[in-house]
Amino acid sequence: MRTFLTAATGLPTILPTAALVVAVCFWLLVAVGVTAADSFDADADLVPWGMGGVPVAVAFSLLTLLAWSLSVGATCALIALALPGPGAGLLRLVVQVGALLVAWWLTCLFVRPLHRLFPDERSPARPSVYDHAA
């Protein structure tokens, strides 16, 4: 448990931890009714990033959760390996960037089936099989 807490609150993993706390607080406000899940939809277009079709808050919350999970898991693995020297800090930073990239890729994969749950959202323009029939 101590390793997990050290990984979640140490540098550089504290950044996704703080983002996760913000996301959880946002969803608590949505649950209470203070704000709506589509509050940020006018502010950002996620279609170019491959995350279109769902509210911005859903996409970023999923990205944050995945990035946090991957970064804390990888940091726990690095702590267990106990690599000595200054290279360990640089390796932790590289792991965080890698975790963010993998989380973005996974978010793009998970958002595709979720866009059916949000019919009002602008989904990515994909040619349909039926577009060429006629």
Residues 6+ apart with CB under 8 A from 1: none
Residue 60: how many other CB atoms lie within 10 Å: 20
DSSP category for residue 115 = G
pLDDT tens digits along 75-128:
888 878 876 677 777 788 888 899 999 999 999 898 887 777 776 655 555 544
Distance CA 65, CA 2 (A): 21
Q: Which residue has the higher pLDDT, 32 or 8?
A: 32
Under a CB-based contact definition with an 8 Å cutoff, are residues 73 and 16 in contact?
no
Residue 90: how many other CB atoms lie within 10 Å: 10
What's this model's pTM, rounded to 2 decimal places? 0.77
Distance CA 26, CA 19 (A): 11
pLDDT tens digits along 17-45:
999 999 999 999 999 989 887 877 766 77
